[in-house]
Amino acid sequence: MNAISPDLTFDLAATSLRELNAALHAATGESNARRWRVLNPNGRHAVAVGINAPLTVEIEGHVGYYCAGMNAEASVIIHGNAGVGLAENMMSGFVHVRGDASQAAGATGHGGLLVIDGNASARCGISMKGIDIVVKGSVGHMSAFMGQSGSLIVLGDAGEALGDSLYEAKLFVRGSVKSLGADCIEKELRDEHKALLAEKLKAAGLEGTVDVSAFKRYGSARQLYNFHVDNASAY
Amino acid sequence: MCGIVGLFLKDPKLEGELGAMLASMLCVMTDRGPDSAGFAVYGSGAKDKVKLSLRATASYDFEALAAGLSLPAAGLPGLAVRGTHAIVEIPAAREAAVRAFLKERHPEVAIVGTGERMEIFKEVGLPASVAQTFGLPGMRGTHGIGHTRMATESAVTTAGAHPFSTGADQCLVHNGSLSNHNALRRALKREGIAIETDNDSEVAAGYLTWRMKQGASLGQALEAGLNDLDGFFTFVVGTENGFGVLRDPIACKPAVMAETDQYVAFGSEYRALVDLPGIARARVFEPEPATVYFWERAQ
């Protein structure tokens, strides 16, 4: 199925999830086993959460909630769909889902790259804080809600209220946007943005396959209450 | 929380396994709803007959009740007792008379649902014990829906368990919580809709019944619910021919569907679907918010 020959294989039909996650947490940059393979995830929640080492983990099947949450340094590849909260609060590293992702993919992520081959449903990148998210399909409603930093790049369409109450996250959508959220506006796609898009798409393995000038850029109009300095003393 | 499962068979060869598959799905959803569980199964039926799903207390004498319903011409009604529930099958023409008789002479017996093919069972307790008590794994049918309850809006009682009947051969299960159910309950009562519990989901069922009494189709009634029901919901409705799915516009409550050549399955989480045959090759997807879906067999 895959070209990798794993150093370690965990079959979750035979081994407990707790055992897998404990082994992943015990791994460090000095560990010999770098390629991990997980079989029969069967929609279990919290598979491969909290890794803090430069490992590659390939998961063969669909996962439940919070897969690869809090990930740091590791590459986690899911050969299936992912449930709610994929790569939630990711710090760094790379998470790639070959199928669809459910709601709140990449939520609150601080860094790293999340690539979704299929669609992501509602609230993709909600409260993102520096993560880069590339969705090859479409995203659902309220995506990038209160996004503070990082980029959300959507090759398909976006649902209702994209970028509602946005801070400084950069949003790029190639297809249609059903509606923009409060204080989110379309902005000019300048050369530096095209360069940024090209860089992120290259990291996602899409170099040369996507025309960066086909995207529209969206960002904060910075008109909401919290952007007015006169209100700063209220906090 | 609450968990929902649903299974609609396209391949008649699986009909003997329906109950076993549904029971397995239901038990996986125990984490989402350990308080009570219930299910509706669409099995065999006859055009001129109607099945009443009745509920009473433990070891209630349903045989005596059935004997009281017999007619010299028609003989004893069909009777299948399963735990606290019994399915009584009577000529369709007698339904109104039997309902009146039960109301007057047997107020201790609740009619949980009626229909040509639908049978409803629900009880407090862990899903595994509820499924076992009613013999779900041995049931056959074309489709069924089930629910595991984690009570939020009303007490943990059998009457508060799902599914709720919305009409002949129709029932509803709900994951979520409605915030305008008290006002809506008062309005529906004024319209003559009987609502027995403080449960928000029963109000949703009563709302659909009311809309359909006014002439709406089930699909139209669900569409109207998007405007009139305030709160969170993922609904699965059972119909004589299949099932329908509706999620609120915010899609607060989870839903996963899987479709193969043999079946369409619904689960609150993918975990509920993993033991289904051929699931690895199924098309797995999430139903869109505020969109009515139906999977039905051709009449």
Nearest-angstrom CA–CA distance, B140 and A65: 32
Nearest-angstrom CA–CA distance, B198 and A185: 45
The whole-angstrom distance between A185's CA and the closest CA on chain B is 22
Distance from first CA to last CA of chain A, Å, rounded?
55
- Select the residue of A62, A103, A141 nearest B270 (Cβ to Cβ): A62
Q: What is the pLDDT of residues A27-57, one digit of tens each?
A: 998 888 899 999 999 999 999 999 999 999 9
Are B286 and A102 an interchain contact pair (Cβ–Cβ within 8 Å)? Answer: yes
Q: What is the pLDDT of residues A131-164, one digit of tens each?
A: 999 999 999 999 999 999 999 999 999 999 999 9
Position A26 in a domain:
no
Q: Token pair for residue B96?
A: 């109104």
CA dist B129 → B42, B102, B134 (Å): 21, 29, 9
The whole-angstrom distance between B273's CA and the closest CA on chain A is 9
Position A21 in a domain:
no
A-chain CB neighbours of B286 within 8 Å are 100, 102, 121
Nearest-angstrom CA–CA distance, A193 and A221: 17
pLDDT score for B156:
94
Nearest-angstrom CA–CA distance, A59 and A74: 13
| A223 shares contact with chain B (CB less than 8 Å) | no
Mutation to test the A interface, candidates B5, B286, B288, B291, most A Cβ within 10 Å = B286
Are A99 and B251 an interchain contact pair (Cβ–Cβ within 8 Å)? Answer: no
Closest CA to A133 of A106, A161, A166: A106
- Select the residue of A43, A64, A121 nearest B286 (Cβ to Cβ): A121
Q: What is the pLDDT of residues B216-236, one digit of tens each?
A: 988 999 999 999 999 999 999
Torsion of CA B272, A127, A56, A1, to 10 degrees: 40
Q: How many domains does chain A have?
A: 1
pLDDT score for A68:
98
Position A226 in a domain:
yes
Residues whose CB is less than 8 angstroms from the CB of residue A31 and which lie 6 or more positions away in sequence, other chains included: A53, A55
CA B194 to chain centre: 17
Are A122 and B289 an interchain contact pair (Cβ–Cβ within 8 Å)? Answer: yes
Q: What is the pLDDT of residues A158-201, one digit of tens each?
A: 999 999 999 999 999 999 999 999 999 999 999 999 999 999 99
Check residue A85 and report its DSSP letter.
T
pLDDT score for B73:
66
DSSP B237-263: EEETTEEEEEE-TT--S--EEEE-SSE
Position A115 in a domain:
yes
A-chain CB neighbours of B270 within 8 Å are 42-43, 62, 64, 81, 83
The total number of residues written for chain A in this structure:
235
Which CATH number characterizes residue A222's domain?
2.160.20.60
Are B286 and A99 an interchain contact pair (Cβ–Cβ within 8 Å)? Answer: no
The whole-angstrom distance between B288's CA and the closest CA on chain A is 8
Q: What is the pLDDT of residues B115-154, one digit of tens each?
A: 999 999 999 999 999 999 999 999 999 999 999 999 988 8
Position A192 in a domain:
yes
B2 is catalytic: yes
Check residue B181 and report its DSSP letter.
H
Enumerate the β-bridge partners of residue A219: A185
Position A56 in a domain:
yes
Position A20 in a domain:
no
Per residue of chain B (299 residues), what is the pLDDT tens digit?
A: 899 999 999 999 999 999 999 999 999 999 999 999 999 999 999 999 999 999 999 999 999 999 988 776 667 889 999 999 999 999 999 999 999 999 999 999 999 999 999 999 999 999 999 999 999 999 999 999 999 999 988 899 999 999 999 889 999 999 999 999 999 999 999 999 988 889 999 999 999 999 999 999 889 999 999 999 999 999 999 999 889 999 999 998 999 999 999 999 999 999 999 999 999 899 999 999 999 999 888 76
Enumerate the β-bridge partners of residue A99: none
Are B284 and A122 an interchain contact pair (Cβ–Cβ within 8 Å)? Answer: no
Distance from first CA to last CA of chain B, Å, rounded?
35
Q: What is the pLDDT of residues A209-226, one digit of tens each?
A: 999 999 999 999 999 988
The domain in which residue A203 lies consists of 44-234
Position A148 in a domain:
yes
Nearest-angstrom CA–CA distance, A14 and A20: 11
Q: Token pair for residue B86?
A: 């019994």
Are B270 and A140 an interchain contact pair (Cβ–Cβ within 8 Å)? Answer: no
